[in-house]
Chain A
């Protein structure tokens, strides 16, 4: 039996350090490590699942140069900090933090590791080594809202949200405005469940919205639970993150698919090339980041036509749902006729448009 004394430890450490030095040229060709922290389990078939697909795309495209690691189920609180530190200490050169709630934690850890680059998803705070990236999900919401507005018979639409953050507010407003273009009397009932992933609560909230008269529900949470409730009730749903038709073949009309792969590959390549800089990227439908899943057979031809028009408008850059006049919940005009809201304004939108019924 050997006892480890402090001296042998130091010797050992020296040997390791020496080995690292000696080995440095050999390791120069070594793979660049890229880390990801995820909010939910990668098997949520929604948000985190889509981000993990993006990570796998990096593996597939740059597997010879890049090695990816990920941590799932990281809470959006202080517990994200040690996880991020750990990834940085493991040697990750680039770390993606894939949810809004990691914003301040990302900046804090980025300060401690100036040589590590960070990318925060859906946030708005940047630093020299912290970039932000987002997706114009609201473009997809406009397509979903068009379908729901066209097909709904009650004109009461449900929106199952997570938190009142800009991303969700934009989604609600875009959905409501698009629905009102088809049916001016359409109202959108919003429930925020204070969680991204809580299948029982998502299910109960969906039942609640249906009981209150909604015949369509769109989800801004991450599990297929709401769709399964709608399937049981013979109603229709529109979801986000990924195509969830496997869970509800009849209820699933279409979904907003998040395609992160191309961006992740681009940024990982930039690390390999040494050209990475802190940027703010907000890609949309035209960039291939926001994709609408194939419509199910239940979507009526009129709804398909109206939805395709919105889609084509975004692809051609001729349509923007946030074009005035836009009134807020109290009927006050916030955007004048003909004006289009800028991305900066959208990023900080914290008010709901007319026709949205919400608790906050």
Chain B
């Protein structure tokens, strides 16, 4: 096994990991604010079509990425209005978004099927990434670096800023936060919009970077893996990064094992692995008792102030 082979394998893993990492960062923030948005798949698809459509129209992938973020955030606002304004059930509303997102994205994508754009490729000049070793560091799309920067940035925001503290307070005890004067709804709107934008950029990674085209349902269930990832990470940003790459490695291992002719495990086993590992992680979390749990206390509960 040559070094070059390993580098190429790592590049594949980065490609598999980045979309779920982006969506995972967004969903983690949403859940930290006490909202469970299961509609990640729908938001990713909305981001995928928005990013692609804007790129086709403006010929500028940077504007396209903004479009993807806006598309994902717009989809998340549908969810937010129902959940925050009308206090609808979060699980049911999130599932509705999972069904609605693919439908709406297909509709918006009618005029864009069969078209291609230049892949939103390497951030650095190609000459810098000529050698495999350099390619390992400098050969990626800007979205990859964005995802990696967002991990510490979001962790710092949640842990060390006043706004992050308020967001966590809203997720831990919405009524207390409300009683000392914070607007629970406004904070949650902000968190949900951020989650939607991140999922949208994650979706655009498919339609603008890996395969620069639009195909209906092209995210093929990655949104669910991102949801599992947040639970697997125990709502901790550092573990989210590790978990995302762990899932990415599992996905790549499946393909490499098959292509290399290893038949020691049935392929269904590989496909189920992210979910199995999430259950295992949950078991560990619950075995340590509530003290070890980092789950926001108000996760999934509607906010019903008495006044």
| Same assembly | yes
A: residues with CB less than 8 A from B are 40-41, 43-45, 73, 158, 189-195, 197-201, 203-205, 207-212, 223-225, 228-229, 232, 246-247, 357-360
B267 touches A194 (CB 8 A): yes
In the assembly, what is the distance between CA of A194 and CA of B263, in Å? 14
Task: Write the chain A residue with the least CB distance to B221.
Answer: A198
- Residue in contact with B109 in the complex, picked from A43, A73, A198, CB distance below 8 Å: A43
B212 touches A228 (CB 8 A): yes
- Residue in contact with A43 in the complex, picked from B11, B113, B212, B262, CB distance below 8 Å: B113
In the assembly, what is the distance between CA of A204 and CA of B256, in Å? 10
B258 touches A207 (CB 8 A): no
A200 touches B19 (CB 8 A): yes
- 8 Å CB interface, B225-262 against A: 251-252, 255-262
A232 touches B119 (CB 8 A): yes
B106 within 8 Å of A (CB atoms): yes
Task: Write the chain A residue with the least CB distance to B257.
Answer: A359
Which of A73, A158, A204, A246 gathers the greatest number of chain B CB atoms within 10 Å?
A204
In the assembly, what is the distance between CA of A208 and CA of B13, in Å? 10
B220 touches A359 (CB 8 A): no
- Residue in contact with B220 in the complex, picked from A190, A199, A228, A357, CB distance below 8 Å: A199
- 8 Å CB interface, B160-216 against A: 206, 210-213, 215-216
B258 touches A192 (CB 8 A): yes
A sample of 10 cross-chain residue pairs with beta-carbon separation below 8 angstroms, ordered by A number, consists of: A41-B216, A45-B114, A73-B216, A193-B255, A208-B9, A208-B252, A208-B255, A212-B259, A229-B211, A360-B267
B222 within 8 Å of A (CB atoms): yes
Task: Write the chain B residue with the least CB distance to A211.
Answer: B8
A208 touches B215 (CB 8 A): no
B185 to chain A: closest CB distance in Å?
35
A359 touches B114 (CB 8 A): no
B267 touches A359 (CB 8 A): yes
A192 touches B267 (CB 8 A): yes
A186 to chain B: closest CB distance in Å?
16
Contacts of A189 in B (CB 8 A): 259, 261
Given A43-B114, A225-B213, A359-B258: 4 more A-B contacts, CB < 8 Å: A197-B217, A199-B218, A204-B15, A208-B9
Task: Write the chain A residue with the least CB distance to B103.
Answer: A73
B294 to chain A: closest CB distance in Å?
29
B285 within 8 Å of A (CB atoms): no
B155 within 8 Å of A (CB atoms): no
What are the 6 closest A-B residue pairs judged by CB atoms, nearest first? A41-B216, A43-B113, A198-B220, A225-B211, A359-B258, A208-B255
Contacts of B259 in A (CB 8 A): 158, 189-191, 205, 208-209, 212, 359
Q: How large is the interface on B (under 10, 10 to 19, 20 to 34, 35 or more residues)?
A: 35 or more
Contacts of A191 in B (CB 8 A): 255, 258-259
B222 touches A200 (CB 8 A): yes
In the assembly, what is the distance between CA of A285 and CA of B24, in Å? 48
- Residue in contact with B271 in the complex, picked from A194, A197, A205, A223, CB distance below 8 Å: A194
Contacts of B12 in A (CB 8 A): 204, 207-208, 211
In the assembly, what is the distance between CA of A200 and CA of B222, in Å? 9
A67 to chain B: closest CB distance in Å?
22
Given contacts A207-B15, A211-B9, contact A247 B222 (CB under 8 A): no
A200 touches B210 (CB 8 A): yes
Given contacts A207-B12, A211-B12, contact A225 B210 (CB under 8 A): yes
Task: Write the chain A residue with the least CB distance to B266.
Answer: A360
In the assembly, what is the distance between CA of A207 and CA of B213, in Å? 17
B197 to chain A: closest CB distance in Å?
20
Given contacts A191-B258, A199-B211, contact A207 B8 (CB under 8 A): yes
A18 to chain B: closest CB distance in Å?
38
B268 touches A224 (CB 8 A): no
In the assembly, what is the distance between CA of A209 and CA of B263, in Å? 16
Interface of A, secondary structure class, is: mixed
Contacts of A195 in B (CB 8 A): 220
Contacts of B212 in A (CB 8 A): 228
A211 touches B5 (CB 8 A): yes
Which of B19, B114, B263 gathers the greatest number of chain A CB atoms within 10 Å?
B114
A196 to chain B: closest CB distance in Å?
11
In the assembly, what is the distance between CA of A207 and CA of B256, in Å? 10
A85 to chain B: closest CB distance in Å?
21
B46 within 8 Å of A (CB atoms): no
A169 to chain B: closest CB distance in Å?
15
B75 within 8 Å of A (CB atoms): no
In the assembly, what is the distance between CA of A228 and CA of B214, in Å? 12
B256 touches A208 (CB 8 A): yes
Contacts of A357 in B (CB 8 A): 260-261
- 8 Å CB interface, B68-121 against A: 106, 109-110, 113-114, 116, 119, 121
A221 to chain B: closest CB distance in Å?
11
Contacts of B263 in A (CB 8 A): 358-360
A200 touches B215 (CB 8 A): no
In the assembly, what is the distance between CA of A40 and CA of B217, in Å? 9
In the assembly, what is the distance between CA of A43 and CA of B116, in Å? 14
B16 within 8 Å of A (CB atoms): yes
Task: Write the chain A residue with the least CB distance to B106.
Answer: A41
Given contacts A194-B267, A200-B19, contact A246 B116 (CB under 8 A): yes
Contacts of A192 in B (CB 8 A): 258, 267
Contacts of B262 in A (CB 8 A): 359
Task: Write the chain A residue with the least CB distance to B112.
Answer: A43
Task: Write the chain B residue with the least CB distance to A161.
Answer: B258
- Residue in contact with B206 in the complex, picked from A40, A43, A200, A211, CB distance below 8 Å: A200
Contacts of A193 in B (CB 8 A): 255
Contacts of B109 in A (CB 8 A): 43
A359 touches B261 (CB 8 A): yes
A254 to chain B: closest CB distance in Å?
18
B211 touches A228 (CB 8 A): yes
Contacts of A45 in B (CB 8 A): 113-114, 215
A123 to chain B: closest CB distance in Å?
22
B256 to chain A: closest CB distance in Å?
6
Contacts of B219 in A (CB 8 A): 200
B255 touches A205 (CB 8 A): yes
Contacts of B260 in A (CB 8 A): 212, 357, 359
